[in-house]
Amino acid sequence: MTFGVTVCCMVLAMVMSFDVRVYGEKQVPCIFIFGDSLADNGNNNALVTKAKANYQPYGVDFPAGATGRFSNGRNAVDIIGELLGFNESIKPFPIANGRDILNGVNYASGAAGIRDETGLQQGDRISMNRQLQNHETVVIGISKVLGNTSATTSSSSYLSKCMYLVGMGNNDYVNNYYMPQFYTTSLQYTPHQYATLLIQQFSHQLRTLYKLGARKIAVNGLGQIGCTPKELATYGKNGSECVQFINDEVQLFNDKLKLLVDELNSNLTNANFIYVNTSGIQSTDPALTGFRVVDTPCCEVGSNDDLGTCLPLKSPCPNRSEYVFWDAIHPTEALNIITATRSYKSLSPYDAYPIDISTLAQL
């Protein structure tokens, strides 16, 4: 699906002007981030895992260099934070302490998934369930920082005003369902059954987040996994621009997730969940948004492994703003800008449902 030329040109103008960063007043007091390598900003650095990005050329365009972000520059959640008025990135869980946690915490972990076993073949990772456990620890810490007098009331009020960005499920396909050499899920479940199972587990996790005080929750749908260089190298194009069966099967999850958002909003008091249509946003015609290379990584990746990450210390492409993909899985900062800006402020009625992040922040 390709959106109109007018929308595409507006996005291109955003990309070209986004280096001028103007931070206004914070629209929410804090941001809590749950997710995988698309949002990881250092949580995996000290883990025993292959899923790491704390080495060059990662971070070549990020001021602090290779921090653990799986990109050449900022992640989409970094940019959303800026749009929400935060002049510093939300700190990863291992180094967030003291009053830092009042600004929020990033719990995202490369290779993590909704299911606990997802990503096991890469080593340690912090699954969604473990991220929620870490958040529970932080919630207790926030109560202590805010003071002991009526701490429960004050902390719950504070947490209800924060923004919660949740993006999970990519690895449950990439590092689980589509890896039958390591996992049995594709043998146990049809694509419809697996999507249903994931949504059931994710629903329980999102309800746990709600019980921990979250009221403004933006949940990302999965991207076009079948368009990544990794999956193209594995399955081939077969006359299509992407691996269509993968995108079709992942869309089953997205469709059910949008329905889950409605269910949670109907059944949980004062809950405000929104669905961010990542796949739809990223399906905009790449040529109309300034991209020239859509199926090749900007950095050099290994050819004999399933990681899809950059080889250490190899020089990346010089024209990074023209590439959709940084490595064989993760987007460049240029695509992250588009995803973040349209998640924050919809340019199409299909970008977010029922409202976008900017409107959610005002509730």
Q: What is the DSSP letter of 270?
A: T
Q: What is the DSSP letter of 175?
A: I
Distance CA 160, CA 152 (A): 12
Distance CA 145, CA 28 (A): 18
Catalytic residue status for 330: yes
Distance CA 18, CA 47 (A): 33
Please tell me which residue in 40, 61, 78, 327 is annotated as part of the active site. Answer: 327
| Cβ proximity of 54 and 46 under 8 Å | no
The bridge status of strand 272-276 relative to strand 352-353 is antiparallel
Distance CA 219, CA 271 (A): 13
Please tell me which residue in 37, 89, 109, 143 is annotated as part of the active site. Answer: 37
Distances (CA, A) of 263 to 191, 200, 203, 258, 272: 22, 12, 10, 9, 11
Catalytic residue status for 37: yes
CB atoms within 10 A of CB 270: 10
Residue 44, token pair as written in the block: 């995996």
Q: Could you give the strand order of the β-sheet that contains 352-353, starting from the edge strand earlier in sequence?
A: 104-106, 31-35, 163-167, 216-220, 272-276, 352-353
Catalytic residue status for 100: no
How many residues comprise the chain?
363
Distance CA 74, CA 61 (A): 8
Q: What is the 3-class SS of 211-233, one letter each residue?
A: HCCCCEEEEECCCCHHHCHHHHH
CB contact set of 151 (below 8 Å; sequence gap of 6+): 143, 144
Q: Which residues are tagged catalytic?
A: 37, 327, 330
